[in-house]
Amino acid sequence: MKSGEQRLLERTFELYPVMPAGIAPLSKSSDPEEMQDEQDLLDELMRESKAENRLELMNFLRRPRQFEKEEDALLLTVKKSEVNWLLEIVNEIRVGLWYKLGQPDPEEDEVPSETAHLEDWISMEYCADLQARLLFTLTDPK
Amino acid sequence: MPTETETTPVIEDETKSKADLDSGFLVICWNDPVNLMEYVTHVFQVVFGWTKQKAEEHMLQVHQKGKSVLMRETMERAEHYVHQLQRYSLHATMERDR
């Protein structure tokens, strides 16, 4: 990657977690009161796992030689064991930004006009690209 | 005057035992326009340990029919799976199997 992409990646990862709280109900059909305890537990587990992920993500970015110079580019090192975890992070940011941007139609590719939204949109699109690259490594781990 | 013994029918409270509550919950994944098909397949493989073929079948069901029933489980295990799927930002819920 180029140094510009490194900045974009760091700025995008800084956003984590993005998904608004309470967006994912445990059940659609059950009486919300009946399952309130379970819903609270799920919300707490999600908060905990995201806090843990954020800590790991910051360590990941600050790891020595994480971005190594290779000729005129930078090489981001991702261990095989980290691919799945990184996919979880990248998708959370992507889906979270999609909600934040008002759930735009992914097929339409409409670029937002407001600057703040534009940055989020770029990060969302970047996550889609990164996700595709990470998924590719699972099928072709070379 | 004959004495009448009134017998009041005893209506048992409809208390549900843990076993009743655990009789079955469906873990369902719902379609959304944002998650990539390859990613959904990958998550199903990771969470359930399925083969790629089985994971793809369920992913296509989600994509084409709007939802797929992934598992029928006890309440506790259904909660576990929903948590796993939601960790990966998939739209998953558990519904009582009526």
> What tens digit of pLDDT does each residue of A97-129 get?
999 999 988 777 777 777 778 999 999 999 999
Mutate to test the interface with B, among A91, A124, A127 (most CBs of B within 10 A): A91
Task: Kindly state whether residue B83 falls inside one of the protein's structural domains.
Answer: yes
For residue A135, give the nearest of B39, B82, B95 by CB distance: B39
Q: In this complex, is the C-beta atom of B72 within 8 Å of any C-beta atom belonging to chain A?
A: no
- Asked if A106 and B83 come within 8 Å (Cβ–Cβ), the reply is no
**Most confident listed range (A21-30, A84-93, B17-26):** A84-93
Spatial separation of the C-alpha atoms in residues A108 and A85, rounded to whole Å: 29
Task: Kindly state whether residue B5 falls inside one of the protein's structural domains.
Answer: no
Q: In this complex, is the C-beta atom of A25 within 8 Å of any C-beta atom belonging to chain B?
A: yes
Task: Kindly state whether residue B37 falls inside one of the protein's structural domains.
Answer: yes
- DSSP string of B3-67? PP---PPP----PPPHHHHTT-EEEEEE--SSS-HHHHHHHHHHHH---HHHHHHHHHHHHHHSE
Task: Please tell me the total count of domains within chain B.
Answer: 1
Query: A60-95 pLDDT, tens per residue?
Result: 988 877 777 777 788 888 888 899 999 999 999 999
Q: Which of residues 22-41 of B touch A (CB under 8 A)?
A: 33-36, 38-39
Residue A33 or residue A99, greater confidence: A99
| Structure confidence at residue A49 (pLDDT) | 93
- Asked if A26 and B42 come within 8 Å (Cβ–Cβ), the reply is no
Q: In this complex, is the C-beta atom of B48 within 8 Å of any C-beta atom belonging to chain A?
A: no
User: Which structural domain range is residue B81 located in?
Assistant: 23-96
pTM score? 0.84
Average pLDDT value over all residues in chain B = 85
| Structure confidence at residue A52 (pLDDT) | 96
Residue A118 or residue B6, greater confidence: A118
**CB contact at 8 A, A23 and A141:** no
Task: Kindly state whether residue B18 falls inside one of the protein's structural domains.
Answer: no
Q: CA of A90: how far to CAs of A111, A116, A125, A135, B37, in Å? A: 20, 20, 11, 11, 15
| Structure confidence at residue B14 (pLDDT) | 47
Task: Kindly state whether residue B89 falls inside one of the protein's structural domains.
Answer: yes
| Structure confidence at residue A76 (pLDDT) | 83
| Structure confidence at residue B27 (pLDDT) | 96
- Asked if A46 and B83 come within 8 Å (Cβ–Cβ), the reply is yes
Per-domain residue ranges of chain A: 5-139
Which one-letter DSSP state was computed for residue A110?
A: P
Task: Kindly state whether residue B80 falls inside one of the protein's structural domains.
Answer: yes
CATH number of the structural domain spanning residue B36: 3.30.1390.10
| Structure confidence at residue A14 (pLDDT) | 95
Q: Closest approach of chain B CAs to the CA of A120, in angstroms?
A: 15
| Structure confidence at residue B3 (pLDDT) | 46
Task: Kindly state whether residue B67 falls inside one of the protein's structural domains.
Answer: yes
Task: Kindly state whether residue B2 falls inside one of the protein's structural domains.
Answer: no
Chain centroid offset of residue A75 CA: 20
Number of CB atoms found within 10 A of residue B32's CB: 17
| Structure confidence at residue B6 (pLDDT) | 53
Query: B44-84 pLDDT, tens per residue?
Result: 999 999 999 999 999 999 999 999 999 999 999 999 999 99
Mutate to test the interface with B, among A95, A127, A139 (most CBs of B within 10 A): A95
Using a CB-CB cut-off of 8 Å, the residues of chain B touching A128 are 36
- CB contacts < 8 A (A, B): 67
- Asked if B36 and A49 come within 8 Å (Cβ–Cβ), the reply is no
Residue A41: which residues within 8 A CB-CB, separation 6 or more?
A: B79
